[in-house]
Every structure is written in structure tokens, then in C-alpha cells.
Structure 1
Amino acid sequence: MLFNSLDFFVFLPIVYLAYWIFFRETKQKNVWLLVASYLFYGWWDYRFLSLILISTLVDFIVGRAIYYSGSQQKKRLYLGISIGFNIGILVFFKYFNFFVDSFVASFAFFGFQLESSWMLKVILPVGISFYTFQTLSYSLDIYRRNLEPTNSLISFATFVAFFPQLVAGPIERASRLLPQIVNPRKFLYKQQIEGLRLMLWGLFKKVAIADALAPIVDDIFLNHASYPSSTLVLGALFFGFQIYGDFSGYSDIAIGTAKLFGIELMSNFKFPYFSRNIAEFWRRWHISLSTWFRDYLYIPLGGSKIRRIFVVRNIFVIFLVSGLWHGANWTYVVWGLFHAILFLPLFYLKSNRRYLGTSNVLKSFSNLLSEAPRMICTFSLVTLGWIFFRSETLSDAFCYFERLLLHFSWDSYLHPRGYRMIDYYILLTCFVLFEYGIRKDERNPLGFKYRFLRLVCYLCLLLLIILFYDDGVDRSFIYFQF
């Protein structure tokens, strides 16, 4: 079920009204949320429910076994079961054919032809990369004594399957989300309004930004070999805004929907395209994933408190794993490698933690002269990286770069459906300026002081959603494939 579908706009009011009107006790609310979440998830394919049910049961049992085990050896054994199961199902469903294909290709490189008949037609379950990481963090936190296991299977199952963030995050920690599910929740008018605003803002970014740019991006990347460099620049630039509007739009709708049920999810994006270096970009982009890798992979490997050569190793491991997490394709691995290479100079110059704030970018005109060039440079590097991310194969990506860098020519691009391109340029310019204006509060982007201004903003966003809505566009979210 998609957030931007008619099904969801029927589903959500029914679940919402029943949640606040008919169910008073916390356990009743959780049972209702769990049923709704399984319905939401099973809407794609009911067979996927068996996998999330097994994952829930395994980590619920293992979590208690870890906590109540008397010896450290048994704790490690149970933790190994959790890690082995979660990573095992992720590798099988997401990477089995990728590894087999790479194995066959490596032998073919040396002149040996192997049969690939053992390739399987494995369907990738929606959201598996997200909920496996979420349940795995539960076991890891219990092992570290940062969390006590819950005694309620219903509460834990609701934590795993909570439908607003089940399919594409944010990847929540049990230490943050589980207490909100276990404890009573009250209806707060301010929280409800903030939730609706976030949903509207997220829907605007999805429909008027991401979906509107999708036909242009698809056309340019599909036919990159026949377009001049000016059009290829446009394609990479537009994809940067498409993926940001798509994924941050999903996160906003997810956070807003959770607020309607009295639950606060973590921020997943903090205006990443205003970053002044790559390190700051990764503190603002897909925050729930980058902090997950930091806490459960980078720090256990030694973090930054070991010999420099091993820190460099850790940096490459983090970025390469992050790239591979996004998909079973070498393009994602190279994308991760690209960002690791960009990060290394910052590490050696000890400037990777230079910009820790998230809201005071360009707070005065004097800052504009010094900070804007850094922002433009960082955005340009990130945009170049998106070429690897968006390309179907590495050969397509290198061909894209070759034409981008060597075929210097300018030509006016025509929309594949005949729409005016000037409308998109104006829309993106206004979008960037608006985001800069609201950069101090990503969780309440439309919370202007004056009611009249808020109403005007609501109406403008709704109008833009209607104007840029295209019934012929695939409305699924990009990160569903991950």
C-alpha cells in the first residue's frame, strides 16, 4: 500500500478513528495497530507476512534468552543466532543472485564458462532491509545491556511492524520506539496538527518534486548515449532532487502519520543539500541508517580511536557496506567507494567534524560569501555520485561520465511529454528557497506564526500537487527497492 494511493487515503482514516474512539487501553491500541500494520504490509503480497512474523518471533525469543542467560558464552551464542538469522535472510533474498552472477562473471573473465542455472527467481520482500536492521538492533542493545527485553510479544511485534515506517524507515531503535508503544499515549491536538502538516509537505515533495521529475530523469538516463553534456548535467541534477523529494517525502509522511497515533519517530533528513562538506552531508542524509552503521559497525570496529590505517579501513568498510545495503548491484558499491574517497581528505585534515550544527547555515550575508561556495561544491560532488546510484550498470555510468565530460555541447532539453521545462526550473528554485527558509525546524516545516500565512501555504502546496500530478507516472517510492 502506497502513502500516495487512494487505498491509503481510505485505510488511514478508518485505522485512525478506530484507534482513538474505540480503543482505550494501550494493549488494545497496540493490537489494533498490529492488525493494521499487517494489513498494510500484506497489501503488496500476503506471503511476505510469514517472513516478518518469523523475524519477530526469533528476535523476541533471542532477546529474552540473551538477557536472562547466566554466562557470556551463551549470550554470544544467542546474539550470533540473531545476527545469523537476520543477515542470512537479508543476504538470501537480496544478494543471492548478485553473488552467484558475480561468481560466474569472475570465472568468465579468466575464460572459464560456468552454468548459471542455479540462479533463483527470488522476490525481494518490501522493506526487508529496514525491519531486519530494526530487529537486529534490539538484540544488540540487549546484549550491550542498553535495553531490557519486553515481556509483551504484541508490543514487540507492533514495534517491528509499525506501518508508517515499516517499508522505508526511519530505522528506529527499540530503546526509542518501544517505550512509546508500551506506555499509554494521549491525544494531543498540537501533535495531530504537526503530523498533518508533515504529511502534506511530504506528499508535496513526493508528487510535485519526485514524481514530476521522474519522466525527465528516466528519459535522460535511458538515452544518455544520444544526449549532449548540457542535458546530462540536467539529468544528474534532476535525479538529485528526485531521490531527495522521494525519500525525504516518504520520511515526512511516515513521521507525520506516526504523530497521528501519538508516536514520535526520529528525523531522517535535515536539509542535506545545504551541507558544506561530505561529512556534514552524511549527518543530514538518511540519518537513521548512517547512525545505525556508526553505532553497530563503525564503533565496534574501533571507530576513530585506533591507528590511522585501521580508521581508514573502517571508513571504507562503512561506505562500501552502505552502498551494498542499497542494492545488489556494483553501481551501489562504486557509489559507496566514491563517497569514501571524498570523505578521506576530511579525515586526514581533521575537518570531518567541522560542521556539527544543522540549522545555522548562511545565517548572515557575510556567511554567504564563505559558505555558499562550499555548499555548491558539496552538492556538485554528491550529484556526480548520484550518476552511479541511478545507472543500471557500471558501463552505463562510465558512458554517462564520458559523454558528460568529453562531449561539450549545449542544447535545449524538451520534456518527453511535451510539458514546459521552465515550470520545473521555477518549481525547483522556489523549493530550494523555501527549504532554506524553514531549515531551522525540519519537523514542523509549515508551522508559520501567522494563520493566514499557513493557510496560503497549504493551498499553494495542494494546488502544486494537483498541477504536477501525472497519472502516467509510477508512484511507488524509490527506496522500496532497497
Structure 2
Amino acid sequence: MLFTELNFWVFFAVVAALYIMLPHRGQNRMLLVASYVFYGAWDWRFLSLILLSTVVDYLVGLAMAREPRDQRRRHLLGISLAVNLGMLGIFKYLGFFVDSFINLSNSLGIPADPVVLGIVLPVGISFYTFQTLSYTIDIYRRDLEPTRDFLDFALFVAFFPQLVAGPIERASNLLPNISMPRQLSWEALARGSVLCLVGLIKKIVIADGVAPSVDAVYASAAPSGADIAVATWLFAIQIYCDFSGYTDIARGVAKMLGFGLMRNFAQPYFAADPQEFWRRWHISLSTWLRDYLYISLGGNRGGRWATYRNLMATMTLGGIWHGAAWNFVLWGIYQGGLLAVHRALAGRHQRVGEGDRRSLTGWVLRIGAILLFFQVVCYGWLLFRATSFGQIVDFTGRLLTPEAGYLDLSLPPPPVAALLGMLWLLFWDVLVEHSGNVRFYRGWPVVLRAGLYAGMIYLLAFGATTQTAAFIYFQF
């Protein structure tokens, strides 16, 4: 079931109707069943993986809480890591490593027959694996007490709004929301509805609208430099709208049920440097990598070069988390390199535009830094979107080598609705950034708010099509 399909909203209407009629414990049990139905709609066989992860981490959490000896606690944590990362490794990475080994052997003149594994990637496995791992790691660190209610823990792992593409929730946030009674309100219903509307516009109107233009260039054998640049800019918009659109809808659906999920995006393309970008982009993953990987590796405690090493290792593994392909590895290395270079320079130069943003000079410098850094981010998206290492080399060469036809633009233009959607998104994100409030519109007069909502509904209807595309991050 996709958030953009009618069958999901019929499913949600049934869930919401039952939810209103049930007491707190009944709500939780019904939500757990609904979450398994939601996930099983893709492939019911993969429910066994969620159940295995749930049972193992529930029992490990209880055992660690009872065990005072650090060595035994480490062994118990090792069981959780082995089970969760083992499943992730088999289903997501085994085929990639086997194929890479075969290619390496053949390149060295050692014959190796190809192996066809036929392993299907379970949707959302990276997200719920990291979510349940954070639970056992927090208990190991004594930052969290385990829950005694198995069914509440199962709902924490499988909660359907954010199950397949995040945000990656922490038990310290979501479990209390599950275990305590929730208050439903018209305010939460209104807020959730606006979030869903924003997310649907981002996904259906903008992301799906620009996708054919991007796909045409990245499927082309010899695009011009201008085509590559424009398609990559459009892909930056596509992936932002696709992913943040999903999390907006997830947060909106959860909000209407009385749950508060964490904000996952904070106008990331208004960042002026890589550190700021990762405070704004995929916040639930970047904070997970920081808290459970970067700090575990030593963080910035071992001196300058150890810090650079830890940044590179963290972001490289973050790239691998996104997918089993070498372009994701390169993207992670690229992001780690940006963070390391920024950290090396940050102590020597004041951050552009900081200190006096109220002055005209400060704003000009800030905007210039944002526009410049956006190009740096976009090259990273070229690495991310490329279909092969050869395409990365080819497209990079075409971008850096002006020649005849360099400025020829032949990619199919996005539809009018997508262009209008991008203007609306710029307006929306500028107001959120300027006000520092995602609910900036709440202070507007009723007439203005009604006009805003009506315009958004019209834009969604204008840009809607009968075809629906899966969210990009479902493959991760």
C-alpha cells in the first residue's frame, strides 16, 4: 500500500474508525494488527523478519536489564547486532558482495561463474533494523529501561506510518507514546491533515512530475552538459520532495492518531555547509549515525586525524546503508570528505553569514554560500543517482569539459503542475525558514488560511495523475 493510493486511505479510514471506538490497550492491539496487515500487503513472508527482530530484541532487552556483568551484557548486545545486521547483510548486501567478488576475480584472470541468488529486498528493512537496534543499544548503555509489554514493543518496531521509510524513531520517544493513553483533538486532526496535504503535493505533484525529465537524461547515452546539470538539479528536488513527502505524510497520519513522530527534514537546501546540511537532511538517520556509530568509533575524542577517520567511516557506512551498489559507497565517501574538509577549515574561518545576518552584507554572503553549497550537494546527488561507475565518469567529464553543444538542452520539460509545485515549495520553505515555525500559517487570518488550503488542494488535484510511483527510499 502506497500513501499515494486510494486503498491506503480506505485502510486508514477503517483504522481510524476502529481507533476512535477502542480503549487505549485495544487501540494498541488493533494498531499492531493493522501494521502487520500494512506490511504484509507487500509480501506477507517478510513479516517473519520483523517478528524475529522483535522477539530477539525484546528478550535481549529484558536479559540485559537483569544482568549486572558488563561482559555478559556485551554478549547479549552481540546477539542483537548479529541477528539484525545478519538479516540486513543477507537480504540487502549478500548479492552485491558476491557479484563484486566475481567481477574482481574475472578482472584478475581467475574464472568465476556468476551466481544468481534471487534474493528479494524486504521493503523498509534498513529502517526498522536501525530502529530496533537503537533500543538494545540504549539499554546496553543504561540510557533506557526495557518495556515489559511485548505487544507494545512489537508496535514500536512495526508502527505502520513510519515502518517502511522512517523517520527512524527512538524508543525513548515512541514507546512512551505507545504505553500511555493518547488524547485525540481537532487540533491534532487539523495539523495532521495539513502535513498529509503537504506531503502529497511534494510526492505526487513535484517528485513524480520531474521524475520523467530526470530519468530521460540518466538513461541517455550522450546528454549535453546542460542536460546533466539541469537533470541533477531536478533530481535534488525530486529526492527531497519524494523522501520528505513520505515523512510528512507519515507524521501527519501518526499525528491524527495522537502520536508525535520526529521531524526528519528542516529545509536542507538552505544549508551553507555540510555540517549544517546533515543537521537538516534525514535527521533521524544522521542523528542515529552520530549517536550509535560516530561516537562509538571515538567521535572527536582522539585528535584531529582520528576525527577525520571517524567521519569518513561513519559517512561511508551511511552510504552503504542506502544501498548495495558502488555509487552509494562513493556518495558516502564524498559526504565524509566534505565533513572532514569542513571540520578542518571551520576553526580558521567564521561560518559565512553568521554573526550578523541582519545586515545586508550578511544576508548576501549567506545566500551566496547556500547557492554555492547547493551545487556541491548536487554533485553528490549525481553520484547517488548514477546507474554505474562508468556513467559517473562520463557525466563528470561532460560537466567539466565545455564543448560544442554543451549548452544544448533537450531533456523533456517538467509539466506545468510540477513547475507550479516547485514555486509553492520555495514559498513554503522560505516562510518556514524565516519564521522558524513549521506552523507559520496558524497566525494568519481565517480567510488567508482558507485560501492557502484551497490553493494547495487545487494544486494537488491539478498535478494528480492516475499513475503512482513507489517512494524512492522504499528500496533502502
Q: Which amino acid aligns with 1:447?
A: R
Give the distance between the partners of 1:85 and 1:462, measured in 2 at CA.
45
User: Do the aligned partners of residues 291 and 269 (structure 1) sit closer, same or farther apart at CA in structure 2, a change above 3 Å counting?
Assistant: same
User: Do the aligned partners of residues 422 and 328 (structure 1) sit closer, same or farther apart at CA in structure 2, a change above 3 Å counting?
Assistant: same
**1:246-304 deviation per Cα after TM superposition (whole angstroms, max 9, x unaligned):** 00000111111110111101110000000011110011000000100100011111111
Contact 2:28/2:178, CA 8 A, preserved across alignment:
yes
**1:172-230 deviation per Cα after TM superposition (whole angstroms, max 9, x unaligned):** 0101110110011111221221111111011110111101011111111111x322111
Contact 1:414/1:421, CA 8 A, preserved across alignment:
no
User: Do the aligned partners of residues 214 and 53 (structure 1) sit closer, same or farther apart at CA in structure 2, a change above 3 Å counting?
Assistant: same
1:11 corresponds to: 11
Unpaired segments of 5 or more residues in structure 2? none
**Bigger shift: 443-452 or 56-65?**
443-452
1:87 corresponds to: 85
Post-superposition shift, 1:407?
Answer: 4.2
Give the distance between the partners of 1:430 and 1:291, measured in 2 at CA.
29
Give the distance between the partners of 1:413 and 1:13, measured in 2 at CA.
44
1:31 aligned residue (26, 29, 32) = 29
Contact 1:343/1:352, CA 8 A, preserved across alignment:
no
1:434 corresponds to: 428
2:305 corresponds to: 309
Give the distance between the partners of 2:27 and 2:145, measured in 1 at CA.
22
**Bigger shift: 398-407 or 313-322?**
398-407
Give the distance between the partners of 1:353 and 1:188, measured in 2 at CA.
49
**Bigger shift: 453-462 or 249-258?**
453-462
Aligned pairs for 1:259-408 within 5 A: 259-350=255-346, 365-408=360-403
The yes-or-no answer on 1:465 pairing with 2:463 is no
Aligned pairs for 1:72-471 within 5 A: 72-117=70-115, 119-223=116-220, 225-350=221-346, 365-408=360-403, 409-413=406-410, 415=412, 424-425=418-419, 427-439=421-433, 440-441=435-436, 443-444=438-439, 446-471=441-466
Post-superposition shift, 1:464?
Answer: 1.6
Post-superposition shift, 1:164?
Answer: 0.5
Give the distance between the partners of 1:397 and 1:212, measured in 2 at CA.
24
Contact 1:280/1:352, CA 8 A, preserved across alignment:
no
Instruction: Find the residue that maps to 1:44 and give its secondary structure.
Output: coil
Post-superposition shift, 1:372?
Answer: 0.6
User: Do the aligned partners of residues 137 and 420 (structure 1) sit closer, same or farther apart at CA in structure 2, a change above 3 Å counting?
Assistant: closer
User: Do the aligned partners of residues 459 and 291 (structure 1) sit closer, same or farther apart at CA in structure 2, a change above 3 Å counting?
Assistant: same
Q: Which amino acid aligns with 1:43?
A: A
**1:121-168 deviation per Cα after TM superposition (whole angstroms, max 9, x unaligned):** 101001100001111111001111111111101100010000010000
Contact 2:167/2:262, CA 8 A, preserved across alignment:
yes
Give the distance between the partners of 2:33 and 2:25, measured in 1 at CA.
12
Give the distance between the partners of 2:293 and 2:218, measured in 1 at CA.
34
**Bigger shift: 344-353 or 390-399?**
344-353
Post-superposition shift, 1:350?
Answer: 3.0
Unpaired segments of 5 or more residues in structure 1? none
Instruction: Find the residue that maps to 1:471 and give its secondary structure.
Output: coil
Instruction: Find the residue that maps to 2:250 and give its secondary structure.
Output: helix
User: Do the aligned partners of residues 80 and 361 (structure 1) sit closer, same or farther apart at CA in structure 2, a change above 3 Å counting?
Assistant: farther
Instruction: Find the residue that maps to 1:438 and give its secondary structure.
Output: helix
Q: CA RMSD in A?
A: 2.2
Contact 1:279/1:352, CA 8 A, preserved across alignment:
no
**Bigger shift: 340-349 or 243-252?**
340-349
Q: Which amino acid aligns with 1:174?
A: A
2:475 corresponds to: 481
Give the distance between the partners of 1:141 and 1:352, measured in 2 at CA.
36
Instruction: Find the residue that maps to 1:47 and give its secondary structure.
Output: helix
Contact 1:30/1:158, CA 8 A, preserved across alignment:
yes
Contact 1:211/1:469, CA 8 A, preserved across alignment:
no
**Bigger shift: 200-209 or 445-454?**
445-454
User: Do the aligned partners of residues 282 and 176 (structure 1) sit closer, same or farther apart at CA in structure 2, a change above 3 Å counting?
Assistant: same
Instruction: Find the residue that maps to 2:130 and give its secondary structure.
Output: helix
User: Do the aligned partners of residues 196 and 365 (structure 1) sit closer, same or farther apart at CA in structure 2, a change above 3 Å counting?
Assistant: farther
Give the distance between the partners of 1:30 and 1:354, measured in 2 at CA.
50
Post-superposition shift, 1:30?
Answer: 0.5
Post-superposition shift, 1:353?
Answer: 12
Post-superposition shift, 1:444?
Answer: 3.0
